[in-house]
Structure 1
């Protein structure tokens, strides 16, 4: 298994990701709607909106997959954010980076993966919109164009979340942001 490399702009990437104030927030219908749509469009068992922290991958939305995240060093999405375009793995068992990855040899038994990088407003790649299959498959140009559109919608929702919870001028968490953070903290007790 080949662990994903760390991007050269990692500090900036993490700063832009954290500025969104979205990490570890509860599931939201607006993201779940996109991953449900991706599952149906591509007829795959799993679709995710994944955001990558320093050592962990966290799922803002997960359809068909129970865990809320995984270690970054085994994540396919960690590799995908290193690319400018969609990363496609047609058969993970035949890919030198992934054939012995625990996500391939064990649950969820990934064979096919396609992940489109999601960019923060500052341009850093913060995560992916991805689909996962348990059978090898090809991913056509039309499939890729549709995924780019879905990823653009996910990016717009991430920006909308930031706009709703941060003051535009000061970039300080606003009242709604404090309420959201408070609800998250209370729900963990």
Structure 2
């Protein structure tokens, strides 16, 4: 058996896959629709939307298999993400790469396999749309084209996953994305007994930038503020734009002192940006920070509410 190679961009590919926050989520109709169509269109017993993780392939949608994942080293899909086009095996028992593969010799007794890579942002092949049969067969050129077209639909759904949780202007998480990510992070901290911190930012006098210099300058200020957040805080922190000029950062596993240091580091980054050149405006903000050890009844909403109050107190005190 030949194990699949790792793509040259494996580190970036895994980073892109994990950024979707889609692994180990519940089945969704928008992906199940694709596998149902594939099963019917190609008259196969098995159709799968598979995502190739570090050491496993995980099935976002699966018809005809009783499992949600298998090991990557025995996967057919692991081979697909190294190719640009359809990957076709007409009879696995006659292919030296697969004839002794446990998925061929045992359940589900794969004979025919056809997979198309699912490409994200035109660079990372995150997984496949694949069809499988327990008997040898071939695809016509038209059928191959149909499978590629159907894979494009699955790709669009993957793109929609991230777009639904991204702020289109700043390209960081929006309110929905923030809640999805921070709630998972808080669940982890709750189980481990770790503290969490939430910082609530509100830009000061932002309306004046729009009124004086126009909305283009205002958009630039928001984009730069988001860029500075992304470069100042940890990769494990969850930062988002949740309103017009309101931003938040959720930090996990740190003390109040460390949270304050992180916010102060960000403040200095903003000050350096303001000092770089005369743009006609400066970015200024007020911030409220709340640190807590999450209890069973604590919610992101309650942390936001308390941090918002503290931010408002700072804003009033600075006037």
TM-score, normalised to structure 1, is: 0.92
Q: Which structure's CA Rg is the greater one?
A: 2
Q: Does 1:18 align with 2:18?
A: yes
Q: Does 1:115 align with 2:133?
A: no
What displacement does 1:179 show? 4.4
Partner of 1:80 in structure 2?
80
Partner of 1:3 in structure 2?
3
Structure 2 unaligned blocks of 5 or more: 192-319
C-alpha distance in structure 2 between counterparts of 1:169 and 1:15, whole Å: 22
Moved more, 135-144 or 170-179: 170-179
C-alpha distance in structure 2 between counterparts of 1:179 and 1:64, whole Å: 34
Moved more, 21-30 or 123-132: 21-30
Alignment of 1:65-144 (within 5 A): 65-144=65-144
C-alpha distance in structure 1 between counterparts of 2:132 and 2:55, whole Å: 21
Partner of 2:210 in structure 1?
none
What displacement does 1:36 show? 0.4
- Equivalent residue pairs, number: 187
What displacement does 1:109 show? 0.6
Partner of 1:176 in structure 2?
176
Q: Does 1:29 align with 2:29?
A: yes
SS at the partner of 1:129?
strand
RMSD of aligned residue pairs (Cα, Å): 1.9
Relative contact order (alpha carbons < 8 A, sep ≥ 6): 1 or 2 greater?
Answer: 1
The answer to whether the Cα contact below 8 Å between 1:93 and 1:111 also exists between their aligned partners in 2 is: yes
Structure 1 unaligned blocks of 5 or more: none
Moved more, 110-119 or 6-15: 6-15
Q: Does 1:162 align with 2:162?
A: yes
C-alpha distance in structure 2 between counterparts of 1:70 and 1:78, whole Å: 11
SS at the partner of 2:61?
strand
C-alpha distance in structure 2 between counterparts of 1:171 and 1:19, whole Å: 13
The answer to whether the Cα contact below 8 Å between 1:81 and 1:125 also exists between their aligned partners in 2 is: yes
TM-score, normalised to structure 2, is: 0.56
What displacement does 1:101 show? 0.6
C-alpha distance in structure 1 between counterparts of 2:88 and 2:32, whole Å: 22
Partner of 2:208 in structure 1?
none
C-alpha distance in structure 1 between counterparts of 2:11 and 2:83, whole Å: 17
Moved more, 144-153 or 168-177: 168-177
C-alpha distance in structure 1 between counterparts of 2:173 and 2:162, whole Å: 9
Q: 1:126 to 1:13 in 2, by over 3 A?
A: same
Moved more, 42-51 or 162-171: 162-171
